[in-house]
């Protein structure tokens, strides 16, 4: 077993804390519409040195990808919590609402991702897979409880919900998103056998 150097554990904790601070600061900046966030500004905002920024994120693309992954992981972790607190079909409905609210709250990040993904090819596969896994778990639980029909795939629900994502700045977007979620849930509950 390799020998641990004195103070190594606290350094790792500090490094984790610094990384979390950087991701939180970048998330706030993107949410505020600061799409052209510079690494120096990020360092000031997070209260760390510029060297710390580059140690964790050697490029702006790496930072944007880390923020994106952290947001997706946080979003999808809600599925387990919802399932523990609500009947499965209600947990599914709330998760869909959570997805829509997440999109609305992260327009700045979506724009930053859009430009960086075109420029650098940052993969969205991670996000798509995580959301699909969460939807699959929620829909499986609801099917097993006889609360939703069994012939609709999670991919179909995700595709249907993606229609809402086309223009989140439209004045009627929130109302339309709620209608689409209600439509999805009514369709899933139709002919369900308890």
pLDDT tens per residue across all 194 residues of the chain: 444 444 444 457 888 899 999 999 998 888 777 778 889 999 999 999 999 999 999 988 888 888 888 888 888 999 999 999 999 999 999 999 998 888 777 666 666 565 555 444 555 676 788 889 999 999 999 999 999 999 999 999 988 888 776 666 777 878 888 898 999 999 999 876 65
Q: Which CATH superfamily is domain 61-189 in?
A: Tetracycline Repressor, domain 2 (1.10.357.10)
**CA–CA separation, 183 vs 163, rounded Å?**
12
Cβ neighbours for 43, distance < 8 A, ≥ 6 positions apart: 49, 50, 52, 53
Residue 37 DSSP one-character state: -
- CATH 1.10.357.10 spans which residues of the chain? 61-189
Q: Which fold has domain 1-58?
A: Arc Repressor Mutant, subunit A (1.10.10)
């Amino acid at each position: 077993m390799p020998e641990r150097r004195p103070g190594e554990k606290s350094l790792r904790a500090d490094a984790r804390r610094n990384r979390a601070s950087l991701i939180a600061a970048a998330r706030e900046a993107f949410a505020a519409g600061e799409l052209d966030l510079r690494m120096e500004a990020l360092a000031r905002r997070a209260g760390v040195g510029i060297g710390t920024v580059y140690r964790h994120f050697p490029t702006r693309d790496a930072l944007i990808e880390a923020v994106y992954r952290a947001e997706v992981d946080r979003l999808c972790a809600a599925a387990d919590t919802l399932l523990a607190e609500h009947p499965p079909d209600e947990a599914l409905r709330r998760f869909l609402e959570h997805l829509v609210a997440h999109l609305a709250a992260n327009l700045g990040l979506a724009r930053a991702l859009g430009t960086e993904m075109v420029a650098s090819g940052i993969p969205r596969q991670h996000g798509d897979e995580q959301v699909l896994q969460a939807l699959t778990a929620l829909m499986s639980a609801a099917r097993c409880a006889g609360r939703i029909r069994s012939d609709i795939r999670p991919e179909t629900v995700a595709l249907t919900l993606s229609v809402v994502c086309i223009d989140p700045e439209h004045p009627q977007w929130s109302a339309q998103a709620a209608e689409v979620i209600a439509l999805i849930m009514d369709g899933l509950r139709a002919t369900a056998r308890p």
